[in-house]
Structure 1
Amino acid sequence: MAHSVLFENLATTNGKFVGQAILNVEGTLNSLTLEMVDLLLDQLAVWQSDESVVAIFIRGAGEKALCAGGDVQALHQSSVSQPGGPCEYAETFFEREYRLDYLLHTYCKPTIVWGHGIVMGGGLGILAACKHRIVTEKTRIAMPEVTIALFPDVGGSYFLNKMPGYCGRFLALTAASINAVDSVYAGLADYCLNHEQYDRLCETLLQLSWSGDRLEDDRLISRAIQELGDSAVEKMPAGNLENHQTQIDYLCEGDDVVVIADRIAALTTDDKWLSKAKVGLAGGSPLAIKWIFRQLNLAKGLPLKDIFQSELSLGTNIMRHPEFAEGVRALLIDKDQSPNWQIADLDSVSEDAVAAFFQAPWPQNPLADL
């Protein structure tokens, strides 16, 4: 049986090593399981204390995806098998996944990620957390959680708030997908390369004059990837975010998410990307729309560790509520695309109903030690 994550120390030409981690479950588009998260946490700890390892490189197996998110089917099973909670598997998964993301955000060595193909949910958490984030002409990024009554987690409350204007709010509410050019504009990626440049990238990284000095090695990596990228930019598909920035800011301005949703619903356009975004919001859970909006507002300006703690609290409460299970059933299990949401329309979602999801579900947050 194939291992779900493959690890290898790749030798550099000057006697150092680059630690490579390959998410290796092509059949599920490399979706993360608890086992995979734990394997990554353990190996990253080993590499962190190994002075011969100068950098970490993360990619997905196959040609289709870095990672399409978490194993939603397993989360759904955990939620429905323990209604009201504790939902042991789901809650443990979130805690460990957020530890992984926080470790990557704060890692003591350069981290490089090859964000080719589909990058969603937990995959975006990994991409956003790395220092050197590479995307390709085939990259497709999305946070579609509103459609299954979840929320953009894995640090989404942090990186969505850092995007230009109201781009983060728009993406979170509409589940709109973005490409390589968009992701650089939004601050989710640093470099655009063509997929065909992958082998050359690997050769280049292993030939660098690694010193073991973090700042110097980061500069070496940046220069090397930028030089490769100079020949790739013209082949990238055009982005949508920058071109629609003014309209996005108009649609998403204000403190009332009902007004924002009404603006988007009233949008009349022939633009395919905006039309898909409109459909994404219309199909989302009204409860989720409210808690997504609230979480983004509450997280503004918070330290990263506080954000992960708040995401774990919200995620735990969502797992213990039937709305998530219904969203997954309708979209991914029965695939009838007709979720029976707990509250049918956004106007009927009270502030008290939303506030209940932001009450700590335990005496002490499991991520208090971050």
Structure 2
Amino acid sequence: MTEPVLFELHPTENGRRIAVATLNAEKSHNALSLAMIRLLAPKLAEWREDPDVVCVVLQGAGEKAFCAGGDVVAVHHAIRAGDFAATDAFFREEYALDYAIHSFNKPFLVWAQGIVMGGGVGLLAGASHRVVTERSRIAMPEISIGLYPDVGGSWFLSRLPGRLGIYLGLTGASFNAADALYTGMADHVLPSGLRPDLLPELARLPWQGTERADKRLLSGHLRELGRSASLELAPSAIRAHYDAIQSLTDYDTVDDMVAAITGYNGADEWLRGGAHKLMAGSPTSMRLIVEAQHRARLLSLKEVFEMELTLSRQCCRHPDFAEGVRALLIDKDGAAHWSPASLAEVDEALVASFFEPPSLD
């Protein structure tokens, strides 16, 4: 049986080691499963304490995807079986892994090539060195499955300029490498063709074994690679549409914001795509996305993960999440039956209930 995560240790020329973890599930676009999480978490803890390991690289197998998100199909099956202990464990352990990456004590490089969605963005967001390529396609499309941008998304989206985080959460809009650099969700962009040479080049660097010096060393190296490559990127749609996004979200209520975004009838395909995705999304998710980001602005990262764990546990106990996964990923009929069916029916009491820990099942 093929291991879902592959681990390697590569020696450096000065006697240190670079640790590499590869998500190894190409057929599912490296969707993050609980099995993967349970392999990664202890290995990262081991590498954190190993003085010989000076850098960690996390990547996905193949060229199509770094990680297309959490394994929500498995979560769906657990929900249908009433196994909330399993769904609780998935989100608890996933968020603990994400937080471990955010707080890692050594250079942590994520090579985010191809599809990077949902749980994949969670793995990317916490890395000290976030690398995207001309092939990167990033999104937090949870609105389409009755969830919300989790994995710390409430924290990092709420800290984007203006109301970009609200817009990206509500529309699930896909964005590219230039967008990721513009929003600060990536640090470096490199040609995808450089990937085979990355580890040999890292092995030649003069690693010191101290966090600050080694992070500077890696940053400098990646910066030079980027400058040497002179990669021509597709333009940033988010930068081009910044003013329009601010206008469409400049409202005091979720209802008015949603009406403005879905009411867009201009010729711009990017804005039309966002309107279409929002229109088809879960009404409950619409309110949860905005409320979670509002609350996250006053919280620490750790507190946000605690809040999101409660939110996600509650989402598993309400009908939209399982129904959204069914419609999009299992039956693929694109005809989710949301409950409540309209935004007007999602009242404050329902929204508030998602932020309270569920009772014991």
Calculate the TM-score normalised by the size of structure 2.
0.97
1:307 paired residue among 304, 318, 341 = 304
Q: Deviations over 1:110-150 (max 9, x none)?
A: 10010000000111000001000000000000011001100
Question: 2:191, 2:231 within 8 Å by CA — same for their partners in 1?
Answer: no
SS in 2 for 1:212: coil
Q: Which of 279, 284, 288 is 2:285 aligned to?
A: 288
How far residue 30 of structure 1 moved from its aligned partner, in angstroms, is: 0.4
Matched, 1:27 2:23: no
The root-mean-square deviation of aligned C-alpha atoms, in Å, is 1.2
Whether the 8 Å contact between 1:142 and 1:178 is mirrored in structure 2 is: yes
Q: 2:323 aligns with which of 322, 326, 350?
A: 326
Matched to 2:129, the amino acid is H
Deviation at 1:362, TM superposition (A): 5.3
- Give 3-state SS (helix, strand or coil) of 2:239's partner: coil
| Cα distance in 2 between the residues matched to 1:220 and 1:11 | 17
Q: Is the 8 A contact 2:190 2:231 kept in 1?
A: no
Alignment correspondent of 1:43 = 43
CA contact (8 A) 1:11 1:18 kept: yes
Instruction: Give 1:9's aligned residue.
Output: 9
The one of 342, 354, 357 aligned to 1:357: 354
Tell me by how many angstroms 1:199 deviates: 2.5
Q: Is the 8 A contact 1:201 1:228 kept in 2?
A: no
- Partners of 1:143 and 1:99 in 2: how far apart? 19
User: CA distance change for structure 1 residues 77 and 158 in 2, over 3 Å: closer, same or farther?
Assistant: same
Of residues 137, 155, 170, the one that matches 1:173 is 170
Partner SS, residue 242 of structure 1:
helix
Structure 1 Cα separation of the partners of residues 298 and 17 of structure 2: 37
Tell me by how many angstroms 1:255 deviates. 2.9
SS of alignment partner, residue 66 of structure 1: strand
Aligned pair 1:63/2:63, yes or no? Answer: yes
Deviations 1:130-176 (A, max 9, x none): 00000000000001100110010000011101111111110100010
Please give the secondary structure, in 1, of the residue aligned with 2:335: coil
Q: Percent identity?
A: 44
Which 4+ runs in 1 deviate beyond 6 A? Answer: none
2:248 is aligned to: 251
Match of 1:273 among 257, 270, 274: 270
Which of 344, 347, 350 pairs up with 2:344?
Answer: 347
Deviation of 1:344 (Å) = 1.7
After superposition, residues 46-195 of structure 1 pair within 5 angstroms as: 46-82=46-82, 87-195=84-192
Uncovered stretches (5+) of structure 2, i.e. residues with no partner: none
> After the TM superposition, which of the residue ranges 232-241 and 45-54 deviates more from structure 2?
232-241
For the 8 Å contact 1:113–1:132, the answer to whether it is kept is: yes
**C-alpha deviation, 1:233, in angstroms:** 4.6
User: What residue identity is the alignment partner of 2:61?
Assistant: A
Report SS of the residue matched to 2:238.
coil
CA shift digits 1:22-52 (9 cap, x unpaired): 0000010000111100100010111111110
CA distance in 1 between counterparts of 2:112 and 2:187 reads 11
Bigger drift between 279-288 and 353-362 goes to: 353-362
Q: Which runs of 5+ in 1 are unaligned?
A: 364-370
SS of the residue corresponding to residue 331 of structure 1 reads helix
C-alpha distance in structure 2 between counterparts of 1:233 and 1:316, whole Å: 45
Structure-1 separation of matches of 2:331 and 2:211 = 49
**TM-score scaled to structure 1, two decimals?**
0.95
Contact in 2 for aligned 1:137/1:180 (Cα 8 Å): yes
Deviations 1:52-74 (A, max 9, x none): 00010000000100000111110
Name 1:366's counterpart in structure 2: none
